[in-house]
Structure 1
Amino acid sequence: SCAVNNGGCDASAICSHDATTSAVKCTCKAGYTNTGGSVNVVCKDSCAVNNGGCDASATCSYNATTNAVKCTCKAGYTNTGSSVNVVCKDSCAVNNGDCGRSATCSHDATTNAVVCTCADGYIYTVSASEGIHRVSIPAGAKWSKNGVTVAGGHGGGGARNQLFYPWGLFVDDDQTVFIADWGNHRIVQYKNGDTTNGQVVAGVNGLGNGLHQLFGVIDVLIDKKSNSLIICDQGNLRVVGWSRCSGTTQGEVLIDNIYCAGLAMDEQRYLYVSDHGKSEVRRYRLGEKNGTLVAGGNGQGAGLNQLNYPTYLFVDRQQNVYVSDSSNQRVMKWNKDAKEGIVVAGGQGLGGALTQLYYPEGIFVDTFGTLYVADSGNHRVMRWTQGDNKQGTVIVGGNGVGVGANQFDRPFGLSFDRRGNLYAVDYNNHRVQRFSIE
């Protein structure tokens, strides 16, 4: 019967046979709902029937592959349920819409999207743009051989024009540089063109474990939506959020009991944290404490499913995770949901050949998949093209250890601005260098 006019079933139904009686059985396909009865099956577009069973504050659509109903919270609402049972709540009622403790959450009158406004007595002081900036760098690009100091460079110290063993950095859209000033237990901001007046934006109260203090900061990034810094507060075994509204005097603990050594964030605002103590990388939804394992987690080692002192991270648009696997002298790429990684740079033992790395630190990946590595022990920055993990090229540094404009003494943090200019933290020279793209 099913081969004849679909057994008399609705065109949007599947015809089958009852296991006992062999009578025709009509079942609505995925994405359709029976609005008739058990005998007279009438299949209607599920989204047109009670919004597909979705929350009233959700949009009903269909999975592109299976055509099953897909519920997505509308702008201004947050899913407090699960991927299967979507429950949409006013975003401002859920963790203040991720606006941070010094801001007020409201909604845009036209789009209903969340709007964060600094509370009375606070001023929003840092430029913001939506999303994670991506950089497209031509394959044959070259950079000036001599760097320009954009922060520090006046010896190690705690003055406004000094840094003291800096580690990670974040470059904002307007070329403002945020630096994890490890030895001073603070985050310092240097605006483009002003190398003498660094502004302490977190950790103004010296070393300590109070919420108003930091201890041995390793890395920093900016979450644009919540107007917050996210800080790898390694000495306190925690990751801290710190509002960028001026007047903020303390942070809040996002993740604790973690030996944080690197941070990254993807375009869905998942936070990625490398944990040196557990030789793993985890992905966290903001507000979540346990996270999901995305790299390593199989003990310290050199296997493809292991890491050994993972430090800096980079996450691409596909949520593939690049890990600076420092003590294995390699950079690993873990594709989303993979059980083991792929060596994309180094992995040939410790050394100074173009096939080798010497305790790699900061990493960056451009939109073409080209990898850039701060090769700290070789005092150079290298480029490794996609698909060629055998040998890299030196793009800046590589002129021996030193204080010259074309030299490094252990480059650590690494980033690029939107124009393709390269920024590197020069750890032992207590400075940040910018190399202009030519």
Structure 2
Amino acid sequence: MCIDNDDNLFLADSSNHRIVKYIKDSNVPITVASGLYYPSDVFVDPLNNIFIVDRNGIHMWPVDSTKGVTVDDSRNRSFAAIYVNSKAEIYAAEVFANFTGRMIKYSSLNSTSETVIDDTPGYHVAGLVIDQCDNIYVGDRGYDRLLKYPRGINSPEVMPNPGVSDPIDITMDKYGNMYLVDYSGHYVSRWSVKYGGSHIIAGVIHVQGYDDEHLYNPVSAAIDSNGNLYVGDSKKGRIQKFVLESGDLYC
């Protein structure tokens, strides 16, 4: 899930093999990319190009195009997350059959050569985000932790007190605060880059539910320009919006 510069929301609809777009303030889905194979993540760059990962590789759909361009069409490769930085470098989290994985980088859309950033045994990147300084943050489900790769360094730092036990996705607001989605814990926590602490802002820790207060196996999150939080809830099959009011989030 991601939100573009115009606050339109994009969602990987895996079971229907497509990417859908929700125009700002609308709950009507529009199919913007189809013919995929179980897409798992989507990213929209400042030019409105759509980057997608699925079980057949990495793809890019140019703005207003009805056909995608394949960046990597390696078969039998499953990707969990994708992010494109300000230099148009493509980062993707690959997941292997044993639920370990690695993070790879393509230097550009036209590059067919990948660089392995990290393939630590047991490593399982389920979400990644890059800040304005090109520091990379990833949620590692293999070791239940938040990692930071400082710019230009392939050796990660383990972030203290991330407030998450099963990080399946991660996103960041314009102030650099990170939002970590905990799949089995049924909540979203906000981690302050400035202060280093975290607290739960959506859901109730280790309590699933079908009402508006609870989440049930959330899988993705995105933040709009006003600081509102959107959470993709897998068991309830819906997107929940938590509105920012006076510094707090309300469902």
The TM tier, using the shorter chain, reads 0.7 to 0.9
User: Shift of the alpha carbon at 1:263?
Assistant: 0.7
Q: Cα gap change, 1:259/1:290 in structure 2, threshold over 3 Å: closer, same or farther?
A: farther
Number of aligned residues: 238
SS of equivalent to 1:183 = helix
Contact between 1:423 and 1:435, CA under 8 Å: does it hold in 2? yes
Contact between 2:173 and 2:223, CA under 8 Å: does it hold in 1? no
| Structure with bigger gyration radius | 1
**Match for residue 70 of structure 2?**
253
Does residue 202 (structure 1) correspond to residue 33 (structure 2)? The answer is yes
Q: Distance in 1 between matches of 2:160 and 2:15?
A: 30
Larger RCO, structure (CA 8 Å, separation 6 or more): 1
Give the ranges of 4+ consecutive aligned residues of structure 1 lying more than 4 Å apart after TM superposition: none
**Match for residue 364 of structure 1?**
171
**Match for residue 119 of structure 2?**
297
- Structure 2 residue aligned with 1:421, among 192, 216, 228? 228
Does residue 229 (structure 1) correspond to residue 50 (structure 2)? The answer is yes
Q: Which amino acid aligns with 2:126?
A: T
Contact between 2:10 and 2:22, CA under 8 Å: does it hold in 1? yes
Contact between 1:329 and 1:358, CA under 8 Å: does it hold in 2? yes
Q: Distance in 1 between matches of 2:158 and 2:139?
A: 10
Contact between 2:172 and 2:223, CA under 8 Å: does it hold in 1? no
What pairs up with 1:38-437 in 2 under 5 angstroms? 169-195=1-27, 197-203=28-34, 213-225=35-47, 227-233=48-54, 235-236=55-56, 238-245=57-64, 248=66, 250-257=67-74, 258-277=77-96, 279-284=101-106, 285-294=108-117, 296-298=118-120, 300-301=121-122, 308-344=123-159, 357-386=164-193, 392-398=198-204, 400-437=207-244
Contact between 1:273 and 1:281, CA under 8 Å: does it hold in 2? yes
Q: Which amino acid aligns with 1:268?
A: K
Q: Distance in 2 between matches of 1:410 and 1:419?
A: 25
TM-score, normalization by structure 1: 0.51
Q: Cα gap change, 1:368/1:174 in structure 2, threshold over 3 Å: closer, same or farther?
A: closer
Q: Deviations over 1:122-143 (max 9, x none)?
A: xxxxxxxxxxxxxxxxxxxxxx
TM-score, normalization by structure 2: 0.86
Contact between 1:421 and 1:436, CA under 8 Å: does it hold in 2? yes
**Match for residue 31 of structure 1?**
none
Contact between 1:329 and 1:356, CA under 8 Å: does it hold in 2? no
Q: Deviations over 1:82-104 (max 9, x none)?
A: xxxxxxxxxxxxxxxxxxxxxxx
Q: Cα gap change, 1:424/1:190 in structure 2, threshold over 3 Å: closer, same or farther?
A: same
CA RMSD of aligned residues (A): 2.1
**Match for residue 249 of structure 2?**
none
In structure 2, the gaps of 5 or more residues are 246-251
SS of equivalent to 1:328 = coil
Contact between 1:264 and 1:273, CA under 8 Å: does it hold in 2? yes
